[in-house]
Structure 1
Amino acid sequence: MQRIPELDPDTLSEDQKRVYDEIASGPRGGVRGPLAVWLRRPGLADRAQALGRYCRYDSSLSPRLSELAILTTARIWDAAYEWAAHVPHAEKAGLSKAVIDALKEDREPTFESEEEAVIYEVTRRLNLDRRLSDDLYQRAERVLGLERLVDLVGVLGYYSLISMTLNAFEIEVPAQFRTKT
């Protein structure tokens, strides 16, 4: 059971309503999950959703690589909501079923490209070890380039924040996502 009740859109403050409307009218199409939690603090929700919009829709990472990083992070954090919400996006972006299945089972996937392997390894090491070895950093910079590596770290930070929020407040996986995992 969720630790906090959902907000009633009819009872939002002026600041909450402004942020709610901005999020709901954007590419997400609604305010749910961690965004609904953050909306209790509209300044946090506003800034976090802007970062999320960049990380999800405007970063230099291809959707396939971004979704690999997101699913790997969700799996590390056991963030069931985020996992369920992003599996369809990962499939649409071209991440293979074999990779998704391996991640779900917490096994290291066999990757089709060195880019995927680097995304996975950087994601694991930053989330689990909280740093990158010199060798991994150099490999990531060589394979991804500095700009995409910077965006990857941003994506990982944002989706770790999402995972923390979902887990701290025990946000339940909505019914719309339950059949897709």
Structure 2
Amino acid sequence: MTHTPRLGLPDPARMSEAQRAAHDAIASGPRGRVEGPLAVWLHSAELANNAQALGAFCRFGSSLPPRLSELAILVMGSYWRAGFEWYIHAPIAAKAGVPEAVIAAIKAGGTPVFAEPDARAVHDFARELLTAHEVSDETYAFARHQLGDRALVDLVGIL
């Protein structure tokens, strides 16, 4: 399997009106650029519009603070070995307040030590959901207590 992109941004000179509109909406939004999966999704303007809206909500509109949403993204990126997600989100997570030791432990596949119980709740919930495809009653109760119902639903949406 190759780790280089197989399909990139459509040729701007050949973009349909819908593709151009999707491109411009993404580029003018909070991301400020079109890259990674967003560029590939432009081959289907409808997918690009809908997927970028969900992604924008998860990253910028979630009830989780950026420290926790970025932590969830790193746990997911590590699980799926998603190099692009890691490349983009590790620096964002650090800037949002995720400690470097936590980022390094997640990248190495280890279990970080958390100072904040809400961060541990996000990590444990995300990891358990991704690896076991379900969440134990204990993990669920802890995450719900730490995050509340809305943030817990937003966390599942991010994952």
TM (norm. structure 1) is: 0.83
* SS of equivalent residue, structure 1 residue 32: coil
Q: CA deviation at 1:5?
A: 4.1
Match in the other structure for 1:12 = 15
Give the distance between the partners of 1:116 and 1:73, measured in 2 at CA. Answer: 14
Alignment correspondent of 2:99: 96
Query: Which is further off, 4-13 or 124-133?
Result: 4-13
CA drift of 1:87 comes to 1.2
Which amino acid in the other structure matches residue 51 of structure 1? L
| 1:3 corresponding residue in structure 2 | 6
- Structure 1 residue runs of 5 or longer lacking an equivalent are 157-181
Counterpart residue identity of residue 143, structure 1: Q
Matched, 1:60 2:63: yes
- How many equivalent pairs are there? 156
Counterpart CA distance in 2 for 1:102 and 1:64 is: 16
Cα-Cα RMSD: 1.0
CA distance in 1, matches of 2:8, 2:30: 25
The answer to whether residue 109 in structure 2 is matched with residue 106 in structure 1 is yes
Higher relative contact order (CA 8 A, sep 6+): 1
Contact 2:74/2:90 (8 A) holds in 1: yes
Aligned-partner Cα distance in 2 for 1:57–1:140: 21
Question: What runs of 5+ residues in structure 2 fail to find an aligned partner?
Answer: none
Q: Identity of aligned pairs, percent?
A: 48
Q: Which residue of 2 aligns with 1:173?
A: none
CA distance in 1, matches of 2:53, 2:146: 28
1:1-181 equivalent positions in 2, closer than 5 A: 1-156=4-159
For 1:51, what is the secondary structure of its paired residue? helix
Distance in 1 (CA, whole Å) between partners of 2:21 and 2:8 is: 20
